C-alpha cells in the first residue's frame, strides 16, 4: 500500500514538473524577442593613385559583382568620391573592409574602404 502511494506521488511530481517545464518554455518564448541585426554599408573612397581597373577587380573579387555593376560603382567612386559596395551585417562588413585593405596593400594601392551603419 505504501509503495502504491509513493508511485502515485512520483507520478504527480512528474506531471507537475512537466507542466512547470511547459510553462517555463512558454514564458521564455514570449520573453525572447530577437531584433534584426544592424546593417552596415561598405564604402569605397576615391584616391588619385588606385587604378579604375583595380577597383573593378576588387568589386568583382571581394563583392562578387558582375562586370557591369562593378564598373557602375567604380564610376560612382570616381565621379562622386565614394561608392557603396553593399550592405551587410557588422561581421561581414568588417571582413569585407579588411579584405579590400589587404588586397590593396598587396598590390601597393592606397584604396580606402570603410563601413558605416545603414
What residues contact 77, with CB distance under 8 A and at least 6 apart? 44, 45, 46, 55, 83
Q: What is the CATH number of the domain that holds 67?
A: 3.30.1390.10
What mean pLDDT do residues 31-37 have? 81
At 102-117, the pLDDT tens digits run 999 999 999 999 999 9
Per the structure, how many domains does the chain have?
A: 2
Do 22 and 73 lie in a common domain? no
Per-residue pLDDT reduced to its tens digit, 54-84: 999 999 999 999 999 999 999 999 999 999 9
* Same domain as 107, residue 88: yes
Residues 30 and 45 both lie in one domain: no
Give the residue, 99 or 12, on which the prediction is more confident: 99
Range of the domain at 84: 39-117
pLDDT of residue 34: 82
Amino acid at each position: 500500500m505504501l509503495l502504491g502511494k509513493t508511485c502515485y506521488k512520483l507520478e504527480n511530481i512528474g506531471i507537475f514538473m512537466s507542466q512547470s517545464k511547459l510553462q517555463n518554455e512558454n514564458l521564455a518564448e514570449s520573453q525572447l524577442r530577437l531584433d534584426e541585426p544592424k546593417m552596415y554599408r561598405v564604402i569605397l573612397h576615391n584616391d588619385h593613385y588606385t587604378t579604375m581597373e583595380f577597383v573593378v577587380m576588387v568589386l568583382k573579387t571581394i563583392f562578387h559583382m558582375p562586370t557591369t555593376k562593378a564598373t557602375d560603382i567604380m564610376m560612382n567612386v570616381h565621379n562622386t568620391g565614394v561608392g557603396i559596395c553593399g550592405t551587410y551585417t557588422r561581421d561581414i562588413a568588417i571582413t569585407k573592409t579588411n579584405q579590400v585593405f589587404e588586397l590593396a596593400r598587396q598590390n601597393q594601392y592606397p584604396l580606402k574602404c570603410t563601413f558605416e551603419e545603414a
